[in-house]
Structure 1
Amino acid sequence: MAETSSLPPADAAGNFAADPAAQIAASLAARSGFDAAAKLRLMAAGQQVGWLPRAHAAILRGMGAILGPDERLADGTTAAELLPGRNDFDARSAALQALARQLADAGHVRGWRDELFAVTPAQDAPALAVVERAAARFLGLLTFASHMNGIVDGDVDGGPALWISRRSPAKSVDPGMWDNLVAGGMPHGSDPLATLVRECEEESGIPPALAQGAQAHGMIEVLRDLPEGVQWEQVYVYDLLLPPGFTPRNQDGEVSEHRRVDVAALLAIMSAGAMTVDATLVTLDALGRRGWLGPDHRA
């Protein structure tokens, strides 16, 4: 779709929003709650690698020697060691692979991906183990992702616009919601830019030579409760200025639609809560940096 959509900002009920920023903030707040008291700090090798829901800790403890005893910390939170007695990468990884399969068989996790995420306290720290991606949110593990704003900064059609994508209805996470043009989780052994370049080609048909020109704009951290567990994710933000005539084409079946939208339409989508939380934060970051959140860019 090459034409730019332009819609007045509206809320989920279809009412015009007098203040899109307030509507977006309210939508984000409603979807971003986090109750630390209902979690255990999940530890491995003495380092925090996740926020484990207490309800999930009870499930794990029913499966054997998965968690050590609760330990009260000075800040009032409680910690538990993951896989006590397993002290190396291979032993932890083998145990976590068996655990993930057990959780899936019991219906506690869904959307098996055959993709491994690192168990680590930081993106630049050595991985302590790897685990099937589908189990990461059940365990509340720290994960990493790369998101890219696809930007058309004015052309024959007028003002600035962004390309966005709609997630496939078959996705296990946020099916059918709007997302950044490119967004993908970072598997073990990858890095933010390599992840982005791969996802650019798979999700939007952006060739590596063009994707390599994406500009990095830091990281946004997301920490929130979800029905399946916890999303604790560090999202690496990129912008890519696209040629005016470029039209994305999905290659992997994970995107059901691409749409080029002007700023007013973007505000409407975000105001309605129709875009994922992480994509909304990444989009707002770009609009703010580029000065596109002022009155001249509202309907």
Structure 2
Amino acid sequence: MSSEIPDNANEHCPGPASEQAGTTDSCAGCPNQQLCKEGPKEDPSIPIITEKMKNVKHKILVLSGKGGVGKSTVSTNISFGLSMKDDQIGLMDLDICGPSLPKMTGLEGEQVHQSNSGWSPVYVNDNLSVMSIGFMLPNPDEAVIWKGPKKNDVDWGDLDYLVIDTPPGTSDEHLSIVQYLKESKIDGAVIVTTPQEISLQDVRKEINFIRKVGVPVIGVVENMAGFVCPKCTKESLIFAPSTGGAKKLCDEMGVPFLASVPIDPRIAKSCDLGQSIFEEYPDSPAVKAYQTIISQITEFTNKAL
């Protein structure tokens, strides 16, 4: 409920956010009296989601200020990297208008199944599971229509980490994600950008948004920061940062800089084939960058315990 006093409120209205809302003498006869008295009702989905999240130790949001910066690739590789240990990892695709995680995890064509406890995610291996609207479409080109109940009916079971790939930008969907998970606690957000100022501008907005809704910022990943030759593995700068890049932005805004991930054609190949770069190309400079990112994520979440 908004804290602003409605235009049709009585004189001396205490305001809908007041403890006296709907109960004072000045409220008598006001068309909003009953609504103010009853107060806002909790979304019925929240306790359901909280119950399903109770066995998930850590919840990580992956966000980007704009599309096209490789957010889903980063989400996928963080999940693959976390799963290299014995931890149980879940990867949730909330970018419902452009679900790409089934392809990137080698699960394209798979389907979810429903049990008495909800929708069961699809497993990449014994300790990495994925949930995406893409599993519910007859073919990858089908239009997406995914109603609320399917979003909150996933039975993840026991997880050490749930990585949540969100839509790009800051929208009502992001507010809903935060509201739905507020009772079960979001550990923090990883924000993905590229070195260009046009992307960094949106990241500034994203950081301010995340701070405003009370979610900790784990750090910023600078993606596509250089090009790695697959033959000689030498790294060349392609998109030179015109304003200092993500590192400078992090220094200015007081948030951690996690790592720069170079463009490596082998990353694109792994995503197309649904393979883990950690297993296929362990010596790639990109893998080393992701290992640095994952190390900082685990350090951050362990401190929160």
TM-score of the alignment, normalized to the shorter chain, above 0.5: no
User: What band does the TM-score fall into relative to the shorter chain?
Assistant: under 0.3
Q: Larger Rg: 1 or 2?
A: 2
TM-score using structure 1 length = 0.23
- Greater fraction of residues in strand: 1
TM-score using structure 2 length = 0.23
Tell me: higher relative CO, structure 1 or 2? Use CA pairs within 8 A at least 6 residues apart.
1
